A and B are shown apart, each in its own frame.
Chain A
């Protein structure tokens, strides 16, 4: 949001304040008004992808690298909470945080060597990282006494409606949890973006050597961003495990998922605050709807053909994503609502 948050008492008359509030309210009441299971389900999926992409954006958007290995962190989250639940009876609510912590540490370990690489080399190394982890997971039946079950994966033990164990009898619960997670991730991104760390990530992403000459230890900031990003990606992974109550390697530790995240970020606008949400709003429903309506047709593969075509067109005609146009429109709306009298304080997109 580029319009300055107002500090005066009459916030409620300022569109820069009430518009975001309005959007969030819509987000909150929507599934209560449109009472359709399909709608809720697709919404959850959109928000889930938005969470993944927003987490990814911390490093893939702001720090100027293209990580294609984030599926591993989602996998760490899903597997950790599920294994802890199965073997120690630990609630996934806690397992989720453990998974996040493990993912953050793994991110540091993998980040130290990989951040020496740049551009295409970095992207390739992250691809190899997912593939290695997926293959190892698929081929491991158990580690010590811990059953991993290889390709088959793990079933989350059912507890019925047990909020303390992250299991609910209605999809609505999941909807609100993922909304909350998304708001947290976006809030943290917002804070980082406006802080010194945000400036440093951007500078290091644009030109590492120049940034270093200005007193920035670029690699250190990238590492912090990556481990934060991995932490939230892992939380999102646990959510997925609890939603579908089943984890398997192909389902989560996959190159496809990694690419989907990057695509969503591109469509929405890499390195913008709300780009991940916009990207997910566009790409996920297209994917879902065309899967539902087209994959049954005589042309198998048609929905993925559409999907790929959209990516290609986006890269050709809108490489900086949709966010910029939406931002301009939004700014204009705020301006209009404030009216001519109010001297609108605008701060251009940085």
Chain B
């Protein structure tokens, strides 16, 4: 990578198995994982805006990765331009849209912020579902993008209407509603299909991580889906309120993924430890669903997760980590159960040992 976060230039080769990245806080461990994840998702798993990923003083950043998939070597390149369009290429062929890079590399990220999956508002859980959908199939990025775009258009129209429904606005709103209904139902259908696979997998993963059998439920059942006429019907019914508020109040962007432990909402009724186990279980379950569906396990990125876990959960997580390429960072000592194939140390944005010299293609 070049000029990514704090790295002016860095070149790393990761072991096919487990790579441990050590170093004190603030040295650039998470940034390294963020660069790998960027090639997979074209975004920051920390939610940072693109410009924040470019090194101070530079006007572009480049992340380049040689990956092997299904026995094929791929050279993936993503370029972030400050205030401009991002570009990507595969095997030196420029892609028409950077988004076409999605699917070439997949990652599953575990981070200390994952507790928010259980504790924070529904937005975190929707993002988790939709990110998993995109990892399952890149075309889902288009489905999600279409909903976002139609919503922005509809909200703009609602604001311009200023609470009044003239015949002109009504006719225009009708077509945006029809568009939102189609796009929104497509996204909800994809989420529902995903839940059919994901919900049982979350139960299994929870039992592994928490080391006890507890009834775990993950339910996606939007209220609008029970309205006559589905989303179109709910949009029609909610139109007066939407007009009054100048906002779209019904749709997949307001849905909840309900998490329950022993029949009770996990957000309010589970202990902190149970919430942590559940967050890990969600990530593990998504990882397995994607691995089975795509035939290739995503690369596991574990960002300093052990600092937040008690020894029991750390060992349980390590014991149940799926086989495949894994990169973990830690500021402290490695958990006793970890047996890395490779250890890297990061100090002040420098990675030791450096990648061995390779003959460039």
Chain A partners chain B: no
Chain A interface residues (CB < 8 Å from chain B): none
